Amino acid sequence: MTIETIDDMAPVMGADGEFHAQDEAVDLSGTPVEAWVALGFFWLLGATVFYQFFTRYVLNNSAAWTEEIARYLLIATVFTGATIGVIKNNHIQVDFFYKFMPRILSRSLSTLVDWLRVGFFASAAVLTVMMMVKLGSNSRMTMVDLPMNWVYGVCLLGFAAMAFRSVKIALFHHRRGYSVLERPESTMDDR
């Protein structure tokens, strides 16, 4: 990324006194599959909430199932969307103390953080599987006669994707020799 001077930038105001600006071309080729899945869940959530609004306030006959399904779609959106935060490595982190640590200590602690994150997501996936097995097919949704394990299955896939992506991030940090904790100015785009 370069810093441009005002002379290098294209003029925004034309000779005719009108505002002339052009948007950059949108490139979605680098969008991970998890983002598309989260977007799909989000659109389903939006359609469900719109249907709920329409039946409640326009038809004055609220569809009872929409509130429950909207809740589950919100859960699905969150668990698939959280994977995007892992991919971009921009979850909440404290990097203040890394500036004052010796390099070997900060590198070791950063590596430990990477692998603890992997362990957390992997153990959350295992615990989700254990809960799904314990519930079996007996646990059903309240308004819609579907198994609750469908909801927990989406959570499981979210945790598994986060664990998988965390392994990739940890390996990337190992190859690169530093992480975002050690050098906050770096990004995952430096690949």
Q: How many domains does the chain divide into?
A: 1
User: If we measure between CA atoms, which residue out of 143, 139, 148, 151 comes closest to residue 65?
Assistant: 143
Whole-number Å distance between alpha carbons of 60 and 67: 15
Q: pLDDT tens for residues 82-116?
A: 999 999 888 777 777 888 888 899 899 989 999 99
pLDDT value of position 22: 76
- Cα 187 to Cα 103: distance, rounded to the nearest angstrom: 19
Please, where are the H alpha helices in the chain? 33-53, 65-88, 103-135, 149-176
| Residues whose CB is less than 8 angstroms from the CB of residue 123 and which lie 6 or more positions away in sequence, other chains included | none
pLDDT at 189: 62
In this structure, is residue 4 part of a structural domain?
no
For the segment 33-46, what is each residue's pLDDT rounded down to a tens digit? 999 999 999 999 99
Q: Does residue 172 form part of some domain?
A: yes
Question: How many whole angstroms separate alpha carbon 118 and alpha carbon 94?
Answer: 18
- How big is the chain by its Cα radius of gyration, in Å? 23
**Is 15 within the bounds of a domain?**
no
Beta bridge partners of 147: 140
Assess if residue 71 is contained within a domain: yes
SS3 13: strand
Backbone φ and ψ for 127, nearest 5 degrees, come out as -65, -35
Residue 124: inside a domain, yes or no? Answer: yes
**pLDDT (0 to 100) of residue 1:** 44
Inside any domain, residue 23 = no
pTM value?
0.79
Cβ distance 68 to 142 under 8 Å? yes
**Domain ranges, residue 113:** 33-190
The C-alpha atoms of residue 93 and residue 116 are separated, in whole angstroms, by 13
In a domain, 127, yes or no: yes
Please, is 95 exposed, middle or buried when counting C-beta atoms within 10 Å of its C-beta (0-12, 13-18, 19+)? middle
Cβ of 165: how many Cβ atoms within 10 Å? 22
Residue 27 lies in a domain: no
Low-confidence ranges of the chain (pLDDT < 50): 1-2, 5
